Amino acid sequence: MRATAIAPANIALIKYWGRKDAKLRLPYAPSISMNLSACTTTTTVELSDAYVKDTVEFDGGFTEAEVKRVIRQLDLIRKKAGSSLKAHVTTKNSFPKSAGIASSASGFAALTLAAAKVFGLKLSQRELTKMARLGSGSACRSIPDGFVKWKDTYAYSLYPHGYWDLRDILVIVRHAVKDVSSSAGHDTVQTSPYFAQRLLQLPARITRVERALKEKNFRMLGEAAEEDCLDMHHVMQTQRPALMYWNDATKVIMNSIVGWRASGIPVYFTIDAGPNVHILCEANREKEILKLLGNSYQVIVNKPAEGAHIL
Ligand code: PMV
């Protein structure tokens, strides 16, 4: 018995940062993201009564803690299915683990879907997002199609991937695993004196992103996304201990983007819990921006993508 699922990573336009319930991974506020076509995880879960324990195989190698987290997610699904079968999990990413791209979203979305399938659970998409969320918060946004909103316990599609031909040009500036995991960062969010301010500003910013998506107003979308990225990093940098995810190359690229915009090109940036920069633009600007970037960096060009699905 085996099932294979593929799931995209996603980039948050409105970030999830901080959780009011760490165990249930419940966010303080809603977040909005876009699935990424070129950053995917493919996971196969195989069950056999010959297996005496769960085993996990990953082409990039897993730490002991990561294996434990995978098995915890399997346990949840196994329990819900009322099964005692052990599993062999094989997983691979379309991008190198060492590229420092967060793979927990695509990873836990693919794992949850493949495991639910092979254990015979009949879950609605909403229920799947709730399950994936327990593995990694942002994983719930990698289940639905295209442009996705996560609110409270579950995530849902706002618009399908074909709705708007945007690009996320991911610039990889450091090939290393991040120093501070986002899990640890979520837990100390209240130590920033600016977190309360962020929560006050979020409802209006979320409305702007939703309106920009509805009207396909790229400028409105880019401005709100970039503002939210800077706001989240401001909170991160003022947490105790401070979380400083940017490096010199991150800042060089951010400044270039601001400069390109001043010269009339509609282009914006957003950054997650790491130094890599996501450049947001519309499809017709892709070539021009790649040319401006030159050959100094490794880039991954993403389009909006469908959500997790069984292969
Ligand atoms: O799902 P986690 O715990 O890896 O948190 C993700 C946090 C950010 O990537 C920084 C923001 C987001 O909404 O994806």
Encoded tokens for 202: 């979020």
Ligand 1 pocket, CB under 6 A: 12, 15-17, 31, 102, 104, 136-138, 182-183, 186, 272-273
Report how far ligand 1's centroid is from the alpha carbon of 84 (Å).
32
Q: How many angstroms does the Cα of residue 17 sit away from the middle of ligand 1? A: 6
CA–centroid distance, 273 to ligand 1, in Å, is 7
For the CA of 183, the closest atom of ligand 1 is 3
pTM of the model: 0.97
Residues 6 or more apart in contact with residue 145 via CB below 8 angstroms: 35, 157, 160, 161, 306, 307
**Contact yes or no for 100/276 (Cβ under 8 A):** yes
* 61 HSE (CA, 13 A, CB side): 3
Q: What gap in Å lies between CA 134 and CA 157, rounded to an integer?
A: 19
Contacts of 265 by beta carbon, 8 Å cutoff, 6+ apart: 281, 285, 288, 289
How remote is the CA of residue 250 from the centroid of ligand 1, in Å? 18
The model's pLDDT over 156-206, given as tens digits with 9 standing for 90+, comes to 999 999 999 999 999 998 766 556 778 889 999 999 999 999 999 999 999
Return per-residue pLDDT of the chain as tens, 311 residues.
Answer: 999 999 999 999 999 999 999 999 999 999 999 999 999 999 999 999 999 999 999 877 788 888 999 999 999 999 999 999 999 999 999 987 656 676 899 999 999 999 999 999 999 999 999 999 999 999 999 999 999 999 999 999 999 999 999 999 999 987 665 567 788 899 999 999 999 999 999 999 999 999 999 999 999 999 999 999 999 999 999 999 999 999 999 999 999 999 999 999 999 999 999 899 999 999 999 999 999 999 999 999 999 999 999 99
Give 56-64's long-range contacts (Cβ < 8 A, gap of 24+): 56/88, 56/89, 56/91, 57/88, 57/89, 57/90, 57/91, 58/90, 58/91, 58/92, 58/97, 59/91, 59/92, 59/93, 60/92, 60/93, 60/96, 60/97, 60/98, 61/97
Helix (H) or strand (E) holding 55: strand 55-58
Q: Which of 13, 14, 15, 16 to mutate to test ligand 1, by most ligand atoms within 8 A of the CB atom?
A: 16
Are the C-beta atoms of 25 and 133 separated by less than 8 Å?
A: yes
Q: Kindly state the helix (H) or strand (E) to which residue 27 belongs, with its residue range.
A: strand 26-27
Q: Which of 11, 17, 24 gets mutated to test ligand 1 (max ligand atoms within 8 A of its CB)?
A: 17
Contacts of residue 281, Cβ cutoff 8 Å, sequence gap at least 6? 166, 167, 169, 218, 265, 266, 267, 268, 289
Ligand 1 atom nearest residue 14's Cα: 13
